[in-house]
Structures are given as structure tokens and as C-alpha cells.
A and B are shown apart, each in its own frame.
Chain A
Amino acid sequence: MSRVPGAALVTGRFHRRSRPRVLLATSCLVAAALLTPLAFLLIEAHGAGTGAVVRLIFRSLTASLLWNTVRLTIVVTALCAVIGTLAAWCVECTDLPLRRMWAVLVVVPFAIPDFVVSFGWASLTTWIQGFRGAVVVMTLAVYPLVYLPVAASLRSADPGQEEVARSLGAGRLKTFFRVTIGQARGAILGGCLLVSLVILAEYGAFEIVGYQTFTTEIFTEFDSFNVQAAAALSLVLVVLGVIVLVGDGWARGNTRVARSGALAQRARKTHRLGRAKAGVLLGFLLLVGLALGVPVGSSIYWMLEGGAHAFAGVSLLDAAGDTAAYSASAAAVATLMALPVSLLVTRHPTRFGRLLERSTFLVLAMPGIVIAFALSYFSLRYGGGSFYQTAPLLIAAYAIMFFPLALVGVRASVAYAPVALEEAGRSLGQRRLAVLRRVTLPLVGPGLMAAFCLVFLATATELTATLILIPDNVQTLATQFWAYQTALSYGQAAPFALVMIGIAAVPSYVLGRFFDRRPSQRAVAR
């Protein structure tokens, strides 16, 4: 401690550019908020005592859960990578007929709650059970998480590289795998990261197809007074999440995708599908039919077939209104939270900033029930129960749960807002906040919209945290669907599923259109 306080300020490392003090502080605050669930887990696991935790973790059930969880994660992630990348390539780089329609339709399945997908399949066929059922249901529900970033990346990729590869004598296949896939590699990995983390925390879908993973076991423990045991198991899940994150960082390595500047953007030559056209169209029909047709179809079937005698819950309109209000608020909060973190890592890249950013992804691997209990715990223990079971705490829980989705969208767009423009603004005498408002925000606006939509979609269908934190006498579409479904009133549950899909289809459409635009268009949209 021999250094003079403040000495760091005059060293070149910090002096090169004005130090982003506000940015750093707000980012740290955001990261701290996102790590509260982890703090809760550590407190609870500590309360259980080391002996009990060790006994719970090191038993053969853990091994079988681990095997179930890991093999499912690997298979579904791989399938999503293939389906998402191929679909994105066909939509973005070929002369696929009706490509604008497909660009929206292939995104909508993300808007269908996993438990509705599961329910749709399970009520249709007994084939969808266990591992096989979990693979089918999850792949169809989450492949858009790969499709979206890959489509965006293919759109903005430099077409010159493919042409160079071809001119140097590389065949079409070789060019595709070495250049096209190479250019989209970051986006594919980013999508896979989201998919793996989402699978780790999934519950509703597996409950219906009868497949046990760590998360279903965590729910069982929560349901048998074993909060501490649940916390211990959740820590294993967090470790799995860390492994996925490290693996992702390792797979990315230090590769950078070179391109010749945004201004050199030009139209990509579309590949002719030729005789493969019919096959590709059939593939798209199959994908959309399975991912979208089955849940929508079975919902309509049950609505028409089911008896209407059971019970009246809240009206469809009330539930839809509350769901939309909560989702929009949560999406706005999460997007705002993602802004400082994105600016920090793209504008002031440091190892610390990067670590901070990566750490926020961990929250995606934690089941909703853990996040709900964590916020309840802190609100009750240190807040005297204020905000408990009120809209603000529920919205905070949503914003925390789905922050990584917002981050993905915001980060991508912040990267498109050149610092030079801001510096020009500063040099013209504008204050920092004015620059943020007048230069940065308009540039990243469309990206913020995309982030908003992603979080909106995820929130509109959230169930497990909602059940704990929801204000009394309020029902969201998801909780009301669930209430009817557990009462076996499929006929009454179905309209709620359809409205949920309907509400979520709007942001899906916006998302599909946004990721379908050229980057140059995106950057000068305002």
C-alpha cells in the first residue's frame, strides 16, 4: 500500500481515454443485482451444513441426473446449431421462395411456452416421452435462439470473402464450411451458449414429458420443505453453467472475423437452390409444422373438444393485459440494464469488464424458482417484506432472469454505433448525457427494440417464478393456463395458450424483421 492514493489516475492505462467511471459503477450494480440469486444459494447451502450438502450431492441420483442433463444439453444444442444455422443460411443467402414469410415464421416458435409445446405433443402422441420427448420438445422450442444471431451475422458478413475463396478454386461445400460458417462462428456459438443455459434451467417441458434433470429435481426438493437441499443442487447447476461459459470462451478463442468496413457493405449474391428447392421448402414446411403447427393445432383442438363446465378464472382480457404490462416493463428494465454493460465491454474492453459481462450469463442457468426465492428472501429478511408479492419485485425478477437475452441484443447493436460520432458530438460541446441521448441512443435504437422483444417473449411465458411472486388475485396468461391444465380443463386452458402465442407473435415478427435487415440499414435507421 505504498502507492499514493489516486496515483493510478495518472498512469497511462487510465489516462488514455476518460475513465468510464459512471459506466463502470452502473455495470457493477447491474452485475451485483444479477448475482443475488447466487448469494442466496450460498447462504442456504451454508445453512444446510457441509455434511448434508456433500451427502446430497455425492450420491448416485446426482450422477444419473448429471448424465440426463448433460446428454440432453449436448444433443439439443447440437441439433439447434444445425437447424438454426441451416435455416438462417437458406433464408439469408439463397433464393428460397417466400423468404420474408419464413423469416418470421421460423422465429415464432420461441414465443410458444415450452410447457405448451410439451402439452401439445403429449396430448397428441405417447411417442413424445422421456429423453426422446425432451429432445424433440426443447429443440423445437429454442432453435430460434441460434437462428436469430446467425441470420443477423450472415446478413452483415462480408460477401467478398466467399468470392475470394471461390476464385481461389475452393468448391461450394468447402467455401460454405470454411468461409460462410467461419464468418458466422461467433453467432453460432453465442446462440449455442444461450440454448445450453436455457436447457439447464428448463422445468415445465420436462415435467410434462416425464424427464428428470437437475432442474426438475430442484423443484421436487423445493416442494418437500428442502429449500437447503434445493440450493445445494442448484449450485451444481451453477457449476455446469460455468463450464458451459468457459467452454464457449475456449471455443471462440482469439479468432476475429475480418471485414472491409461497414461502408463496403453490398448485396450478397444469392445462391441458387436449383433442384434442391423443393426439398428445402419441404424442410421449412416440416420445421414450421412441427414447431408451430403442433402446439397451435392441439390448442385449437382442445378448445373445440374440451368441456366448458369447470371453473371461471380471471378473464382472458385481464390476464392478457397484466401479462403484457409485466412483460413490457420487465423488457424495458432489462434493456436499460444491458446498456451500460454493453457499452462498457464494447467501448472500454478490459479483462474485468469481460469477466463482469460473462458472469451475468450465469443467471440463465438458474431455475426461475431459485430467482424467485432469492428475491423473496432478501425482500423479507432485509426489506421487512416491502415489495413482496408486488408488481415491482416480480418485474425485477423477470428483468434479472432474462437479462442475458437483452444483453445479446443490445451488445450487437452497440457494436454498430461508432465511437467517432459520439466524439464528434462531444467536440461540438454537447455534454456526455446529451450525447448519449442524441447520438448513441438513436443509433442503437433498433437493437434496443430487438433486446426488448426477446425479453418480452421470454417473460410473457414465464411460469415458475411468477407463481411465487405474483400479486394476489392477479393471473398472467401462463399461470391461468397452468391452473386450468393442472385441473385437467384442457378446453379452458387452450385459449390462454393461443392468446399467449398471439401476444408473443408481435415481438417475434419485429425480431424476424429486425434481424432480416442489413447492418447499414440498421446503423442509419434514424
Chain B
Amino acid sequence: MTSTRRRRCPGGRWRLGQLWRARRLWLAAALLGGLLTACGTAGGGSDTITIYNGQHPQTTDALVAAFERATGIHVLVHNGEDDYSLADSVILEGSHSPADVIFTENSPPLEYLQEKGLLAHVDPATLANTPARFDSPIGDWVGVSARVSVLIYNPSLISKSQLPTSVLQLAEPQYRGKLAFAPGETDFQPIVTSVEHTDGEAATLNWLNGIKANSAGHRYADNEGISSAVNSGAVAFGVVNQYYWYRLRAEIGAGSMHSEISYFAAGDPGYVIDVSGAAVLRSSRHPAAAQRFLAFITSSAGQEIIAHSTSFEYPIASGVTTVQSEAPFNELHPNGITIEQLGDGLEAQDLLQRVELL
């Protein structure tokens, strides 16, 4: 109203004194809060990379902290709800994507982005850190860690001898009302692909229909849901990745655990290794720094962090093995399905959709 009125002070922030005179102080204060937040979150400089993270935050946070210390490169982490919603975002963003690196729990989303031509080649030296069978077949992403699928069961509801030894038995009528199932869980889709690879489409559809009947009333959003439901006794058993059980035990203590894990028979189509991997986006504006991140997390320094982490994932690169008390990685007897055969997972989704589990 007077000549002292100024729109903005040089720093780009609103002047407090000016707002103080406003009649609706609370309103102004609220707006100020928003604007300051907005000013504070402007994008970083050239020594900053952005990671779209589908991995569990604790794994990524530990790796990022060590990487920042080792290289001085600043890392912004954007945690997605899961791998797929991050991949959706990357596709939607196209060349505008703020992400430099995408780090996922499972290989299919990376394979999918690779097919869409959205990923850059990974440095050959980085690829060499990880055994080739855990890397992208064409070198567009690198394997970082692994988990294995197991049965989680509540011994007070089902005895170990009653458990299936093959994933195909999940469809048997004897398990009606006992099976917990998460149709949307990204960790289960590789098993569907694996069963289809072994037995063909028609048998897989039959099998899924059996699972659908057996799991009626016990559908969950994800493995976390299955794990806590089985542990609390809401349902007898389900298929999860091994690390959920170990984490739950670490969290609530062995005394509060009411569940156990059990492995499928050696080579069973349900006995699948899930590989977590990372890639540099083709649209990245900081490809060199992004490549360094991939090199770091697959180096022995990065892998040691995974080996000591309470995320209970298996390190798979640079010869590092886990120090946690779980079955050693090289003593597992998984099915022989390859990363390439697991593919982008779209066919598994189509099958799940056809039996209307999705």
C-alpha cells in the first residue's frame, strides 16, 4: 500500500516483516512454509545424481551413504512404491526424467525398460564384477544382490510334513483356505514365468486357478502382508522371499516368531533366484557419476555393505558372501531358469490377468 512495498527480496524469499502486517497471519505463514520448502528443493548441481529406488530403503540408504563418502558425489533418492510404479514413472517422464539411476528389487522391470530402449549400456568393467548369469543379457543393467523364494508357514496351523515340496502342489485342494497369496507381488511373477517355462501355458493357467481357489479370503498386497499374516496366525502358509522372514525375526525377536521357513525341493520351478539390479537411464544428464554408482555398489566395498546389512539379501558380485546366519548362497539348489527366460514378466502378468487374479 505504500512505497515500502516490495514483491520479493533479493534472496528470492518473502520478506517476513511484510507478511507480519498481513491480517491473516496464519494463512501467510502457511504459504510461506510452502514457498520456502519449494525454494529449498531446487535441483542439485553436476555432482548430484538422482536414484529411483525400488529396493528396500535400508539397503539403498547404506549404499548411498558409503558412495557419497567415497566419491563426494551427492545422491538424491526417490523411493517408489515398488519397481513397477517407478518404471511407469520413467516411461511417462521419457526424456524429461529426473532420474539418473534406477535400482530395482527384480530383474523384469529392468528388462522391460531395456526393451523400450530407455537404458544406457553399463560400463564393461562394472558388468565384470557380477557373474554374467545375473546381469542383463545385452549389458544394459547390472545384478547387485539376490534373494530366493521359500515357503513361510505357521507350525501351529500346518506341520512341516504337510507342506508342499513343489510349487505346483500349491494348487492342490488340500490347501484350500490355508494358502496366503499376493497376486500383485513382483516377487511372485518370476515363479509364474518359471512354471510356464517348465509346464507350458495351459498347465500354468490350471495351476493359477487352483491357487486362486485355495487363496480365496487370504489375498495380500505383498510379501510383507503374507509374512505378518502367517506369523500372526491369520493363515497357514505362503510363498515369500527368504529375507522377509529373517527381517521379521530381527525386528520382533526370535521369541515372538510363530513361523518357520522351508525350501522347495532342489530344482523345483518354484525355487527361484530373484536378482536385484541397477541401470543408468539413457536420458541421464550425469552418466559418468551414475556409472560410478553402479561400479561402487557392485565393488567389494559395496557388496560388503550388503553382506553385513540386516536386509538379509545375498551379495552376488566381487566374490563377497553374506555374513548373516542364513543358508549360504552357494548351498541353494534353485531352478535353472535364466534372467533372459524370466524376461520382462509381461506374460506372467497376462496369465494372472486371464485367471482374474489381477
Contacts and interface: CB of A to CB of B under 8 A. Distances in A.
Interface of A: 59-61, 122-123, 126, 129-130, 207-208, 210, 212, 216, 219-227, 305-307, 309-313, 322, 324-326, 328-332, 335, 369, 373, 376-377, 380, 384-385, 388-392, 395, 437, 441, 449, 452, 464, 467-468, 470-474, 479, 483, 485-491
A491 B248 CA distance: 11
A223 B85 contact: yes
A376 B89 contact: yes
Nearest to A474: B41
Contact of A123 (B29, B232, B250): B232
B247 interface: yes
Contacts of B87: 225
Interface in B62-111: 62, 76-82, 84-85, 87-89, 91-94, 96, 98
Contact of A380 (B57, B93, B184): B93
Given A123-B228, A309-B250, A329-B31, A222 B85 contact: yes
Contact of A313 (B41, B61, B96): B61
B41 A126 contact: no
Contact of B252 (A305, A380, A473, A474): A305
16 contacts: A123-B232, A207-B225, A219-B221, A222-B84, A223-B81, A223-B186, A224-B349, A227-B92, A309-B250, A311-B58, A326-B34, A329-B33, A332-B27, A468-B80, A472-B50, A472-B78
B98 A389 contact: yes
B80 A332 contact: no
Contacts of A328: 29-30, 33-34
Contacts of B35: 329
Contact of A489 (B61, B88, B112, B251): B251
A223 B247 contact: no
B282 interface: no
Contacts of A59: 356
A243 to B, nearest CB: 24
B264 interface: no
B38 interface: yes
B92 A380 contact: yes
Nearest to B349: A224
Contacts of B82: 223
**Which of B30, B31, B184 is packed against the most chain A CB atoms within 10 Å?**
B30
**3 tightest A-B contacts by CB?**
A329-B34, A385-B96, A311-B58
A257 to B, nearest CB: 32
Interface in B220-247: 220-222, 224-225, 227-229, 232-234, 244, 247
B124 interface: no
A388 B89 CA distance: 11
Given A329-B34, A391-B41, A306 B251 contact: yes
Nearest to B348: A224
A380 B93 CA distance: 6
Q: Chain A's interface: helix, strand, loop or mixed, by majority?
A: helix
Contacts, number: 181
Contacts of B89: 376, 468
A395 B58 contact: no
A71 B33 CA distance: 42
Given A222-B85, A224-B84, A472 B98 contact: yes
A66 to B, nearest CB: 13
Given A210-B225, A472-B77, A332 B37 contact: no
Given A306-B252, A309-B310, A483-B79, A488 B227 contact: yes
A326 B92 contact: no
Contacts of A473: 76-77
A417 to B, nearest CB: 16
Kindly name the residue among A212, A305, A441, A473 whose own CB sees the greatest number of chain B CB atoms within 10 A. Answer: A473
A130 B217 contact: yes
B58 to A, nearest CB: 3
Contacts of A331: 30
Contact of B96 (A222, A388, A474, A483): A388
A310 B251 contact: yes
A36 to B, nearest CB: 15
A311 B62 CA distance: 8
Residue among A59, A226, A324, A441 with max Cβ neighbours from chain B (10 Å): A226
B253 interface: yes
B346 interface: yes
Given A223-B85, A485-B224, A490-B252, 16 more contacts: A210-B219, A210-B225, A220-B221, A224-B84, A225-B112, A225-B346, A307-B250, A325-B36, A373-B92, A380-B92, A380-B96, A391-B38, A467-B81, A468-B85, A488-B224, A488-B251
Interface residues of B, number: 68
Interface string B16-50: 00000001101101110111111001000000001
Contact of A325 (B37, B218, B222, B251): B37
Contacts of B184: 219-220, 223-224
B93 A122 contact: no
A108 B112 CA distance: 45
Contacts of A226: 349
Contacts of A61: 356
A217 to B, nearest CB: 8
Given A324-B33, A328-B34, A487-B58, A388 B98 contact: yes
B258 to A, nearest CB: 11
Contact of A467 (B79, B219, B232, B253): B79
A177 B92 CA distance: 54
B183 interface: yes
A8 B288 CA distance: 65
Contacts of A389: 78, 98
A335 B250 CA distance: 46
Contacts of A470: 78
Contacts of B356: 59-61
Contacts of A488: 224, 227-228, 244, 247-248, 251
Nearest to B34: A329
B160 interface: no
B292 interface: no
Contact of B310 (A222, A310, A369, A441): A310
B141 to A, nearest CB: 17
B251 A210 contact: no
Nearest to A479: B79
Contacts of B225: 207-208, 210
* Centre residue among A216, A310, A490 by max chain B CB count within 10 A: A310
Contact of B34 (A310, A377, A395): A395
Given A61-B356, A307-B253, A487-B247, A210 B220 contact: yes
A490 B251 contact: yes
A384 B96 CA distance: 7
A210 B227 CA distance: 12
A207 B221 contact: yes
Given A61-B356, A311-B58, A472-B78, A325 B85 contact: no
Nearest to B180: A210
Nearest to B44: A472
A62 to B, nearest CB: 9
Contacts of B33: 324-325, 328-329
B65 to A, nearest CB: 9
B104 to A, nearest CB: 12
B31 A332 contact: yes
